[in-house]
Structures are given as C-alpha cells and as structure tokens.
Amino acid sequence: MATTDFKDYYATLGVSKTATAEEIKQAYRKLARKYHPDVNPGDKTAEARFKEINEAYEVLSDADKRRKYDQFGQYWNRAGGAGWPGGAQGADFGGFDFSQYANFDDFINELLGRFGGAPGSGRTYSYRTSTGPSTGFGGFNDFGFGDPTATTGQDIESKLTLSLGEAFNGVQKRLNLGNEVITVRIPPGAKPGSRIRVKGKGQMTPYSRQRGDLYLVVEIQPHSFFQFEGDNLLCEVPITPDEAVLGATIEVPTPDGTVAVNIPAGIRSGQTLRLRGKGWRNPNGSRGDQLVRVVIVPPANPSVIEREYYEKLRANRSSDPRSHLKHIRL
C-alpha cells in the first residue's frame, strides 16, 4: 500500500492525537463552516475537503471507531507504509487482524458500514449532505445555510449490475452493507440508470446518529441479442436474399419467447419492423415495443446450384438499383 493511501484524520481536523472529544467536535464545526458547499458553491476543491472533514469526524467522534483507527495507524506504521506484506503481517493489534484489508479504503468502508464494504470490493461512493434547519450550534444559520451537524443522514449511491433477464423480470438481491446483509427487491422493468431507493440504509451522520438512504443505480450487462433504444428493445435479425425478394415468415426471439414475424416482399436491409407490446416492461405495467432490424445476409459459401442460379439472376436482372447515380455531379 502506498503512503498516500493512509489518511491522517487528526491532521485533517487539525488536532493532536491526544485531543479530547470536545476538542475534536470544536475543530470539526469550525472547518465544516469554512468548507460547507453552501459557502463555496461550485467549488469542487472545497466540496472534497468538506467530505474529508465529515469522514474524519465520523471516525474520530466515535470512541470504538477511533480506537480501531488508531490501531490501524500502528499497523500501517509497523508495515512501513509500503504495503501489507512484511513484519507487520500477523502482528497483534488488540486482537484485530488488519491484514485482511487490501488497502486503507477497504478498512474505512467496513468501519463506517458503507455499502459493499467487504475487503477488495472496489465500490465507489458519493454523498449528498442535506442542509436542513439549524439546531442552534453557535449561530451557524447566520451564514444563511443549515448546520452540517444537523443533517438527518448521508445518502450513499452505489452501482448495481443486473443481467437483462433480472432487470426485465425483477429479482431479489442480497447486499452486503459491511455490518449487515439486506435483501432488496428490484421491481420488473429496471433500466440502465434507474435509481432504487432503500430507506434508512445509508451512512450514519455523526451527530444525530441517523442514517441516510442507499440509492442503487442500475447497470445492465450487455446482451448478445437485445439492446435498448429509448423505451423499446431493439434486435437485429438476418434474412437471406430470396426471403428479402419473395417475402417470408421467420421466427424471432422476444422476451416472452419466439414469435412468427412476416417479412414483406421487397424489404431492404436496415429496415425495421415493429412488434407492438413485445418490448421492455414499464413501471405502470405496460410494455414497450420490440424493433426488429432486418439485415440481408448473402451466403458466405454458396453451393454450386446456388451460384448457378445467382449467375442466371444477374444475367436476367430487370432493374438497375444504381441507375439514379449516373447523373450525380459535384
């Protein structure tokens, strides 16, 4: 682990490692007022600093979390700040095995009960801090915004990857939130970017000890046949040249199974047929359409008879599809 992975929360709040709980609280309030997003609108640097301050305070304001954090710091220093392998591995730090974590972030994610906090999960987190009415801490409302210590909880946003079948039919997923495992029901018809709210399963705010909400942002794995086009499903179906000329009835897969589709005579490659009510599920129970894009595919290795007939067709062709190109000029 690189030295930059470890975060010195005492330095973040500007206090010593022997600071009392009251000193930590005062330092936090001072910095939170300075870097609050409402004081620094649009300032990404201040926003990042505000999140660091909140994270540091959440750890150091809790006696148990602070103790484990201090033990982790000893472990990290014993390892030389260069990675887990070495003399520190297997060392006794109050009966807690820190070698199970791949990096500092994994340790903190589990310590704070963030979604996907299992070691090596690689999850990303984003937070939305509410700015409700002040609770009277030192005239913080004089600045024209709410005290961050009055937040009702911090929301967590995390990605949830589903297969196309799971998203279409709905599914129940067991999720590890670090200190608890929950079952979440994903309703039928979730689409890429859908946000599913799980109330009361977000991050706990240090002051009120209340939890925000967990927002699951749906990602859907690519499918070999279906893809989204707006509120509809799109698929591509190959047909032969003779089916394009003469018309045909072919079988096309849909989410509900295979259906017979009539291919009109003279269809062109790239044209789209619409199967109404065979597309994606909508939250209101209705269904979108399935769009079938036709692609004319010639035989890759025509037989002797096929080649003979294609040559006859070429010799007896009655139309020239490129006749209109003869008069094209710059």
What is the token pair recorded at 213?
């909400």
Domain-located, residue 56: yes
Q: Which amino acid is at 250?
A: I
Do 206 and 121 lie in one domain? The reply is yes
Task: Provide the CATH number for the domain around residue 289.
Answer: 2.60.260.20
Domain-located, residue 148: no
Do 45 and 94 lie in one domain? The reply is yes
Whether 153 and 212 have beta carbons less than 8 Å apart is answered as: yes
Q: Which of 206, 200, 177, 211 is nearest to 62 (CA)?
A: 206
Do 121 and 218 lie in one domain? The reply is yes
Do 205 and 276 lie in one domain? The reply is no
In terms of residue numbers, what domain contains 85?
1-98
Per DSSP, what are the bridge partners of residue 222?
none
Say whether 239 sits in a helix, a strand or coil.
strand
Domain-located, residue 327: no
Give the model confidence (pLDDT) of 14-25 as tens digits: 999 999 999 999
Task: Provide the CATH number for the domain around residue 47.
Answer: 1.10.287.110
Give the model confidence (pLDDT) of 167-184 as tens digits: 999 999 988 877 788 889
What is the number of domains present in the chain? 3
Whether 201 and 182 have beta carbons less than 8 Å apart is answered as: yes
pLDDT by residue, tens only, the chain of 330 residues? 444 478 899 999 999 999 999 999 999 999 988 998 878 888 889 888 988 998 899 899 988 889 888 888 877 776 655 444 334 444 445 556 666 666 777 777 777 765 444 333 333 333 333 333 332 223 333 333 334 444 456 788 888 999 999 999 999 998 887 778 888 999 899 999 888 888 888 877 665 567 788 899 999 999 999 999 988 999 999 999 999 999 999 999 999 999 999 999 999 999 999 999 999 988 777 899 999 999 999 999 999 999 999 999 999 999 898 998 988 999
Do 21 and 55 lie in one domain? The reply is yes
Q: Using alpha carbons only, how large is the chain's radius of gyration in Å?
A: 31
Domain-located, residue 143: no
Do 121 and 44 lie in one domain? The reply is no
Q: Which amino acid is at 294?
A: V
Do 307 and 206 lie in one domain? The reply is no
